[in-house]
Amino acid sequence: MLECALCNLTPQDKKWMLYENNDWIVFLADKQDYIGRCMVVCQEHCQSISDLNIEQWISLKVIMSSLEQMLKSELGATMFNWSCLMNDAYKADCACPHVHFHMRPRYAEPVIIKNREYRDDEFAHHYDNKKPAQITDEAADFLFAQLKEKISLYFS
**Closest separation between CB of residue 40 and Zn ion, Å?**
14
Tell me which of 52, 68, 98, 127 binds Zn ion, using CB under 5 A: 98
Interaction of residue 35 with Zn ion, rule CB under 5 A: no
Interaction of residue 1 with Zn ion, rule CB under 5 A: yes
CA end-to-end distance (rounded Å), the chain: 29
Site string for Zn ion, 57-96 (x = CB under 5 A): ----------------------------------------
Tell me which of 29, 45, 133, 148 binds Zn ion, using CB under 5 A: 45
Name 125's Cβ contacts closer than 8 Å, sequence gap at least 6.
Answer: none
Name 68's Cβ contacts closer than 8 Å, sequence gap at least 6.
Answer: 77, 80
Residue whose Cβ sits closest to Zn ion: 4
Which residues lie across from 39 on neighbouring strands?
Answer: 27, 102
Amino acid identity at 144: F
